[in-house]
Amino acid sequence: MYFTPHRHGFTPFASSPPDAAPEPVVIVGAGPVGLALALGLARRGVVVTVLESGDSVSYGSRAICLSRHSLEVLERLGVGERFAERSLPWTSGRSFHRDTEVLSFAMPHEDGDVRAPMVNISQSEAEQILVDEIEATDHCTARWRCRVLDCTERDDHVGVRVETPEGSRELRARWVIAADGARSTVRESLVLRMSGTSYEGRYVIADIHWRAPLPTERRVWFDPPSNPGSTIILHRQPADIWRVDYQLGPDDDPEVETTEERIRERITRHLDWLGNTEPWTLEWSSLYRAHSSSLDSYLHGRVLFAGDAAHLVPIFGVRGLNSGLEDADTLAWTLSSVVHGTAGPELLRTYAAERRAAWRQYVDQAEKSTLFMTPGTHGYAMTRDAVLTLANRRPVLRELINPRQSGATHSRTSPLTVGATEDEPRSLVPGDPVPDHAVRVAAGGARTSGLNAERGPDLAVLALDSEPEALADKVAALRARLAPGVGVRGLATSREAARVHGAALPETTLLDDSAETLARALDADFGEVFVIRPAGLLLGRFPDLEHLGRCDALADHVLRGGSR
């Protein structure tokens, strides 16, 4: 059965005196980015109000592919298990030119990886999981049927004018987060414009209920006999729901092509060509056009932007929602530090600069895929057709067909990124996302876990084969400066299993790395120290604890948004 969202009623605002303090944080938009950000802030003790114009989560699959890194973000929010239970993992895909396979790819998946490279789950299901968690979380309130009309900057707060079933009302907030999507009302009210590229190709996207024996993989057909001249993408979702995307021609009338009759006709032709004998039903459909655009800055006074309100990326390579969850993950700990008063606004400028640089990384990859999926000129179309025709005879050309599935972005050029550099190249350098890896926790009778789960949403200091007592002292000193906006955890590994199983320290989790699997996964030397940011990026790597330096200096570096 297709997902049916729960409807929420309007909750009247309590009356407050004119001199009441502004709300700490108001988030506009209850999409996945706004909801994830609200949870991330609430987990850090920040009081958050989410305003949503509708009365439910979205309907339809929309963004269906979550990357491994996004699943790590969701685990840190406390909803990882529910996403794992309700999603379908996948690792591979195939592409066809007409009826000939021209590409078969597998995403990187190594021994010790905690989760699959990608999972499929409907955006509506994802949002509902987050809403359910918010309803059970302190410090966080979602208000439905509250349509934001505009935002106005004041001296020490932002005025947010809201239309409700009981009339209009103005809220006051110390900080406002615009997570209200591609047609952001907040962005429009501040007269801000995104700049970038819009692509010519248009796609109909549809969810169908279809009991089919096909595997869970990404399948693409270029110029299939079922729909000559089109491109068709097929993804399996949970509960026998399949996502079908197909490209319209330049002369096709969108109003005609988005009628239910026409969508059924096109999909029927393709399923019949695949040899389908099972009945199917059309559940949802929409029209999509690719864009690569961004605001120049994601910080404007006391208003911050995240997700599609800040930037747009094409769906090819599934970067839209995944990039938005990265925004939410980074903004949660940086804004929390500012709200709690441990950090100044310069930390938010670092957020804005980092995430715009991340958008550029996504676009550099997405544009290659988008030009192949939706060639906007006759020249691009001829080039693509030539590549598809020659791909089997010239395997080197297959890289041009590769969809370049989304991976986490790095922050190597961020002012926050520090640490000793090595003459020889490393597979993991400061600024890179730290890979999750299976670990053996020594305490409590020993158990298997993951690095991401053990470091959680906090800043982590990971010391390989170092003295746990010395690490515990460093962790305590850092926590004294960074909390409550940012927590701090210590992780100590040892190659001597008896040593870690016999120890217990309040500030440090002890890991048994007697097989040296974690050290190899991190390309680390014994004695080395890794400082990992709350959002999972490597702040720096140091030869040993002594080279980490003074904890006050490191804390100042983080709270001030890095070196200038």
| Every domain of the chain and the residues it spans | 23-86+112-190+292-370, 197-291, 375-400, 438-559
Query: What pLDDT shows up at residue 396?
Result: 83
Q: Is the pLDDT of residue 405 over 70?
A: no
User: For strand 167-178 and strand 303-305, is the pairing parallel, antiparallel, or unpaired?
Assistant: parallel
Query: What pLDDT shows up at residue 432?
Result: 95
CATH 3.40.50 at 197-291, yes or no: no
Q: What is the mean pLDDT of residues 268-278?
A: 97
Among 43-57, 270-284, 425-439, the least confident range? 425-439
pLDDT band at 121 (very low <50, low <70, confident <90, very high): very high
Among 128-142, 307-321, 367-381, the least confident range? 367-381
The CATH class of 438-559 is alpha beta
Cα–Cα distance measured from residue 486 to residue 333, given in angstroms and rounded to the nearest whole number: 6
Q: Is the pLDDT of residue 502 over 60?
A: no
Query: What pLDDT shows up at residue 564?
Result: 46
Cα–Cα distance measured from residue 331 to residue 33, given in angstroms and rounded to the nearest whole number: 11
Cα–Cα distance measured from residue 518 to residue 369, given in angstroms and rounded to the nearest whole number: 34
Query: What pLDDT shows up at residue 266?
Result: 97
More confident of the two residues 211 and 500:
211
Dihedral-angle region of residue 529 (phi above 0 means left; psi in -120 to 50 means alpha; beta otherwise): beta
Query: What pLDDT shows up at residue 424?
Result: 53
Cα–Cα distance measured from residue 499 to residue 159, given in angstroms and rounded to the nearest whole number: 57
pLDDT band at 521 (very low <50, low <70, confident <90, very high): very high
Q: What is the mean pLDDT of residues 348-376?
A: 88
Query: What pLDDT shows up at residue 499?
Result: 60
Q: Is the pLDDT of residue 71 over 60?
A: yes
* Other Cβ atoms within 10 Å of 112 Cβ, number: 15
More confident of the two residues 501 and 316:
316
Cα–Cα distance measured from residue 121 to residue 100, given in angstroms and rounded to the nearest whole number: 29
20: which residues sit within 8 A by CB, 6+ positions away? none
pLDDT band at 421 (very low <50, low <70, confident <90, very high): low
Report residue 236: phi and psi, to 5°.
-85, 140
Cα–Cα distance measured from residue 330 to residue 342, given in angstroms and rounded to the nearest whole number: 16
Helix boundaries (H) for 301-455? 320-339, 346-373, 378-390, 451-455
Q: What is the mean pLDDT of residues 53-66?
A: 94
CATH number of 23-86+112-190+292-370: 3.50.50.60
Query: What pLDDT shows up at residue 156?
Result: 92
User: For strand 241-247 and strand 195-210, is the pairing parallel, antiparallel, or unpaired?
Assistant: antiparallel
Among 13-17, 63-67, 288-292, the least confident range? 13-17
Q: Is the pLDDT of residue 31 over 70?
A: yes
Q: Is the pLDDT of residue 501 over 60?
A: no
* Other Cβ atoms within 10 Å of 546 Cβ, number: 11
pLDDT band at 563 (very low <50, low <70, confident <90, very high): low
pLDDT digits (tens, 9 = 90+) for 132-145: 999 999 999 999 99
pLDDT band at 129 (very low <50, low <70, confident <90, very high): very high
The chain-wide mean pLDDT, for the chain, equals: 92
Q: Is the pLDDT of residue 404 over 70?
A: no
Token pair for 399: 């890289």
Query: What pLDDT shows up at residue 400?
Result: 79
**Most confident range, picked from 241-255, 401-415, 487-501:** 241-255
Q: What is the mean pLDDT of residues 28-53?
A: 98
Among 87-101, 111-125, 295-309, 417-431, the least confident range? 417-431
Cα–Cα distance measured from residue 197 to residue 153, given in angstroms and rounded to the nearest whole number: 30
Query: What pLDDT shows up at residue 138?
Result: 95
Bridge partner list, 244? 206, 234
Q: Is the pLDDT of residue 242 over 90?
A: yes
Q: Shortest CA distance to 189 belongs to which of 231, 228, 160, 212? A: 160
**Most confident range, picked from 70-74, 316-320, 366-370:** 70-74
Do 261 and 251 form a contact (C-beta atoms < 8 A)?
Answer: no
